[in-house]
Structure 1
Amino acid sequence: MSTSDQKVAIITGASQGIGAGLVDGYRAIGYAVIATSRGIAPSQDPEVLTVQGNIADPATAERVADAALDRFGRIDALVNNAGVFLSKPFHEYTQADYDAITGVNVSGFFRISQLAVEQMLRQGTGHVVQITTSLVDHANSAVPSVLASLTKGGLQSATKALAIEYADRGIRSNAVSLGAIRTPMNPPEFHDALGAMHPMGRVGEVQEVVDAVLYLEHALFVTGEILHVDGGQSAGH
């Protein structure tokens, strides 16, 4: 059971890849964690509470926030990591594609962030982090991704708006904007091609993303920042 002064993080999309790495990363710095995704399994760690559900559904967000408060009594950090990425020509996206991507990437951010911010206001402190993509800043004709730009670009704008709205009330808002990362979403046979998109010539590692998020967690004078972890992709080619 969490002690009253132990900090608590909510991680969405937490069952594998970056999300699972973030759970481990926050635990390593002493946070209790609420980890959520559609198929997440129970944890053997008493300081990790898992909640199954689709974060695009506001009811899932309500259950996650309630679980954090019922179990640990506070919310200090929220990492909006859950995301859907689908690369295809703009004119070929279907309504189902649009609904799925905007559902997770936008609706999945909206309600859980509202609930987290409400609790952070009661506490007088908190930190919200969005995981986005450097394709927002540096479009690539080889990776058509209008729906990623629409949704994750919106989150980057929202990140700054939240930072300014709550800067004088103890709540920070930042984003980590990614290149291609070595996760189950990117099969090994594509790593060379994905790495070639980055000036550094390789894909990123999950731990490098975790390190960036935890840097922002500790950087108490940083808010409204879009931190690129993309091998130089956003800077140019």
Structure 2
Amino acid sequence: MSKVVVVTGASQGIGAATVTAYRKLGWNVVATSRSIQPSDDPGVLAVPGDLADPAVAARIIEAGRRHFGRVDSLVNNAGIFIAKPFADYTGEDFDAITGVNLRGFFAITQQAAGAMAEQGGGHVVTITTSLVDHANSSLQSALASLTKGGLAAATKSLAIEYARRNVRFNAVSPGIIRTPMHPAETHEFLSALHPVGRMGEISDVTDAIVYLENAPFVTGEILHVDGGQSAGH
């Protein structure tokens, strides 16, 4: 039986590329986002929904188990990033960011980890950000650090809690990746934020996810894919 991965935020960018990467590995994929469209690929089950609603998480995991018979991995890619000076954040910003980055992570990871432990093992990979380790005055993003920093800490905590149940927890901590969310006119500025002098590519992140998937002795790892950002400037 083919293994099954759930990928959140799967309709574009890193999420869509992650779906493709797992299909190349021969896995079946449960792909979810608010705007996900049905797939012509029988190995991809599209489940639309807003992760900020806890009921959606249960529906996604149940759909994967019902359709494919199991859930082996979860890639927590969905996230909201709003860069503003701290004093300019609104209550609506806070609710939007924490709704997906924290509540969404909590709900779907709880459901997935339970299913994995029940079937004897699994793996959770969460996408964080290197801004957690390397704050930069050129990119003010305290709410990203508040939420994604919490996810990095939870990754280590859950790795220990579930270690004897054969469920691994890891994270990929990217720098700024070249995706459609970054207009071309910002690329020069964003490239300069990395010691290597360029932005990362989506494939850099998916390669890291696949590495962690295929590394059974690695758990509790925060893998930085950030052009040296976390090391310094």
Between the aligned residues of both structures, percent identity stands at: 64
Per mean C-alpha deviation after superposition, the further-off stretch among 60-69 and 11-20 is 60-69
Pairs within 5 Å for 1:150-229 = 150-229=146-225
Give the corresponding residue for 1:134: 130
User: Which residue is equivalent to 1:48?
Assistant: 44
Which residue identity lines up with residue 175 of structure 1 in the other structure? A
| 1:6 and 2:23 aligned | no
- C-alpha deviation, 1:139, in angstroms: 0.4
Q: How does 1:45-194 map to 2 (within 5 A)?
A: 45-194=41-190
User: How far apart, in 1, do the equivalents of 2:183 and 2:99 lie?
Assistant: 24
CA distance, structure 1, for counterparts of residue 57 and residue 180 of structure 2:
25
Q: Provide the rounded CA distance (Å) in 1 between the counterparts of 2:49 and 2:112.
A: 17
- Aligned-residue Cα RMSD (Å) equals 0.6
User: Secondary structure at 1:106's aligned position in 2?
Assistant: helix
Q: Distance in 2 between matches of 1:126 and 1:152?
A: 22
The partner residue of 1:31 within 14, 27, 36 is 27
Instruction: Provide the secondary structure at the position in 1 that maps to 2:128.
Output: strand
Equivalent of 2:229 in 207, 227, 233: 233
SS of the counterpart of 1:185?
coil
CA distances 1:118-163 after superposition (whole Å, capped 9, x unpaired): 1101111100011000000000011111100100000000000010
Q: List per-residue Cα deviations over 1:174-196 (Å, max 9, x = no partner).
A: 00001100111111211111110
C-alpha separation in 2, matches of 1:24 and 1:90: 37
What amino acid maps onto 1:153 in structure 2? G
**Following TM superposition, where does structure 1 have runs of at least 4 consecutive aligned residues deviating by more than 2 angstroms?**
none
The residue type equivalent to 2:30 in the other structure is I
CA–CA distance in 1 between the matches of 2:184 and 2:19?
23
Give the match's secondary structure for 1:39: coil
Aligned partners of 2:116 and 2:62: how far apart in 1? 14
Classify the secondary structure of the residue corresponding to 1:50. strand
CA distance, structure 2, for counterparts of residue 236 and residue 68 of structure 1:
41
Q: Provide the rounded CA distance (Å) in 2 between the counterparts of 1:52 and 1:19.
A: 14
Mapped to 1, the partners of 2:207 and 2:48 lie a distance apart of 26
Where does the alignment leave 5 or more consecutive residues of structure 1 unmatched?
none
Deviations along 1:195-231, one digit per CA (max 9) or x if unpaired, are: 1000111111111100000000000000000000000
Q: TM-score, normalised by structure 2?
A: 0.99
Q: Aligned equivalents of 2:58 and 2:183: distance in 1?
A: 33
What is the identity, as a one-letter code, of the residue corresponding to 1:206?
I
1:151, 1:107 → 2: CA distance? 10
Give the TM-score normalised by the residue count of structure 1. 0.97
